């Protein structure tokens, strides 16, 4: 991996044109020049020249970024913003002593304990039929302060069981290892079941392995040591012949694609070159919805437009394109944890765009985005409980629960 100094020429390519301001969700929410890539490049330039120190204040500015990559896509110089920010954050971890708070949020052991506790908690939660009860009283809870809003956010993770409507079939000729991601593994098995049900229609044999987290939040935070530890543990678990590694999570997909950039092992290259989204396998399926739903989508920053084409082609639905449907939802894992107010502000604007469309469902392919959108919806409900609220749902769950194949 390159050091910050190695990006000197790349950073120098920034002409200070300021175009990135017009697309950066964090800048729009804060009007803080340090939030946008131009401002960060000014700071990093000062660090490379030895005029500034890479200290915790600079790290806070670097953390003012959801990693959406909108500035990269819009930048005339096409500067690889995320790679540079990651290198700068990695340098911060190498050269600074870490605060207690940072140690806590960087601890994978604690993260895993949290996920295992979440698995038990949600099993009991569903057993007691709480998702339906809390949803019924959502207008009350969203007005009950931050705790009520957090409860609603928690509730949005707990989908109820459903009856699969898809056919089983097909001779299996390709082997795919399924990388289910932390959310499907620990919190919501229904998404995983939905993926399995949908792939029953394909020629793919699904292989399960007990993977660790892909490491996305550690990579984005610049904690390369922890990221590499997870990468190596995941490579060890990939001890079988396979044609593809598949995932239904847009964030896992992008991270696995990047494994080969951080490891020189052949197995890392093979994994990165073989990883595909489940949507790649179902592009040619024809789905038909059981009711004429009004559907809109949120495109995660890391997904392709293919998944939107799958939605548009579902027979019997009305597809609606919401304003800024492909812009960042403002959640992005640790960003939401470290910058709660900004995250809520971005999410609220996004959610309002969807509520304006009066859709029945917002479909997406990233669990963090589901949380981001639900966070925004809760904020709006708290202000105006009369709105018709669309349900945020994982695409694959929607296909398995509300569609049949034709």
User: Tokens 């669309």 appear where?
Assistant: 390
Tell which one of 10, 30, 58, 67 touches ligand SF4 (CB under 6 A).
67
In the complex, minimum distance from the CB of residue 48 to ligand SF4, in angstroms, rounded to a whole number: 16
Cα atoms in the Cβ-side hemisphere of radius 13 Å centred on 190 = 21
Which lies closer to ligand SF4 via its Cβ, residue 64 or residue 399?
A: 64
Q: Which of 4, 11, 14, 177 binds ligand SF4 (CB under 6 A)?
A: 14
Q: From the CA atom positions of the chain, what is the Rg in Å?
A: 21
Q: Which of 29, 43, 79, 195 binds ligand SF4 (CB under 6 A)?
A: 79
Asked whether position 19 contacts ligand SF4 by CB under 6 A, the answer is yes
By CB under 6 A, residue 71 contacts ligand SF4: yes
| Coil, helix or strand at residue 204 | strand
**Does position 256 bind ligand SF4 by CB under 6 A?**
no
Kindly give, in sequence order, each residue whose CB lies less than 8 Å from that of residue 204, ignoring residues fewer than 6 positions away.
172, 174, 175, 176, 244, 246, 281
Q: Does 16 bind ligand SF4 (CB under 6 A)?
A: yes
Q: Which three-class secondary structure state does DSSP give residue 45?
A: helix
Our finding on whether 15 is near ligand SF4 (CB under 6 A) is: yes
Q: How far apart are CA 153 and CA 130, in angstroms?
A: 13
The two tokens of residue 85 are 């920010």
Residue 43 binds ligand SF4, judged by CB under 6 A: no
Reported as half-sphere exposure (CB side, CA atoms, 13 A), residue 282 has a value of: 30
Residue with Cβ nearer ligand SF4 (220 or 394): 220
Between 67 and 390, name the residue whose CB sits nearer to ligand SF4: 67
Number of amino acids touching ligand SF4 (CB under 6 A): 26
Where in 140-281 does DSSP place strands (E)? Answer: 174-178, 204-208, 244-247, 275-277
25 binds ligand SF4 per the rule CB under 6 A: yes
Residues 62 and 32: beta-carbon distance below 8 Å = no
Question: Is residue 31 part of the contact set for ligand SF4 (CB under 6 A)?
Answer: no
Distance CA 159, CA 319 (A): 23
User: Which residues are CB-contacts of 161 (< 8 A; sequence separation ≥ 6)?
Assistant: 126, 190
Q: State which of residues 66, 247, 255, 296 lies at the interface with ligand SF4 (CB under 6 A).
A: 66
Cβ nearer to ligand SF4, comparing 24 with 182? 24
Q: Is residue 38 a contact point for ligand SF4 (CB under 6 A)?
A: yes
Q: Is 275 in the site for ligand SF4 (CB under 6 A)?
A: no
SS3 326: coil
Q: How far is the CB of 346 from ligand SF4 (least distance, A)?
A: 9
Q: Decide whether 24 or 134 has the Cβ nearer to ligand SF4.
A: 24
Task: Return the residues of window 80-99 that contact ligand SF4 according to CB under 6 A.
Answer: 81
Q: How far is the CB of 28 from ligand SF4 (least distance, A)?
A: 9
From 163, 243, 249, select the one nearest 204 (Cα to Cα).
Answer: 243
Pairing of strands 391-394, 361-364: parallel
Smallest separation, CB 55 to ligand SF4 (Å): 20
Least Å distance, CB 254 to ligand SF4, is 13
CB 365 within 8 A of CB 300: yes
Footprint on this chain of ligand SF4 (rule: CB under 6 A): 14-20, 23-26, 36-38, 65-71, 75-77, 79, 81
């Amino acid at each position: 991996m390159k050091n910050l100094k190695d990006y000197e020429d790349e950073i120098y390519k920034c002409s200070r044109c300021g175009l990135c301001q017009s697309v950066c969700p964090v800048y729009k929410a804060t009007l803080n020049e340090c939030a946008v890539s131009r401002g960060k490049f000014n700071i990093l330039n000062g660090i490379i020249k030895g005029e500034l120190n890479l200290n915790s204040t600079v790290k806070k500015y670097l953390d003012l970024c959801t990693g959406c990559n909108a500035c990269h896509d819009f930048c005339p110089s096409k500067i690889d913003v995320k790679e540079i920010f990651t290198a700068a954050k990695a340098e911060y971890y190498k050269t600074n002593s870490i605060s207690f708070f940072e140690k806590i949020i960087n601890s994978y052991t604690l993260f895993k304990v949290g996920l295992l506790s979440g698995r038990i908690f949600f099993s009991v939660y569903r057993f007691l039929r709480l998702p339906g009860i809390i949803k019924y009283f959502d207008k009350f809870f969203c007005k009950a302060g931050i705790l009520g809003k957090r409860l609603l956010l928690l509730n949005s993770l707990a989908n109820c069981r459903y009856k699969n409507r898809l056919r089983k079939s097909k001779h299996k000729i390709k082997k795919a290892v399924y990388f289910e991601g932390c959310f499907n593994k620990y919190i919501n098995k229904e998404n995983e079941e939905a993926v399995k049900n949908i792939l029953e229609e394909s020629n793919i044999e699904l292989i399960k392995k007990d993977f660790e987290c892909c490491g996305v939040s550690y990579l984005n935070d610049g904690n390369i040591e922890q990221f590499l530890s997870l990468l190596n543990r995941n490579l060890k678990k990939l001890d079988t012949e396979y044609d593809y590694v598949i995932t239904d999570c847009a964030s896992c997909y992008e991270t696995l694609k990047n494994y080969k950039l951080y490891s020189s092992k052949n197995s890392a290259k093979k994994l990165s070159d073989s990883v595909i989204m489940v949507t790649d396998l179902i592009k040619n399926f024809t789905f038909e919805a059981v009711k004429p739903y009004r559907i809109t989508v949120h495109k995660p920053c890391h997904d392709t437009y293919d998944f939107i084409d799958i939605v548009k082609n579902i027979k019997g639905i009305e597809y609606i394109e919401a304003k800024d449907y492909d812009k960042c939802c403002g959640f992005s894992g640790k960003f939401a944890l470290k910058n709660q107010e900004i995250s809520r502000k971005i999410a609220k604007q996004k959610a309002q765009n969807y509520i304006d469309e009066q859709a029945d469902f917002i479909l997406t392919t990233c669990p963090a985005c589901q949380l981001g959108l639900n966070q925004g919806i809760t904020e709006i409900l708290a202000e105006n409980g009369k709105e018709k609220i669309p349900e945020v749902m994982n695409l694959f769950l929607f296909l398995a629960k509300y569609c049949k194949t034709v």
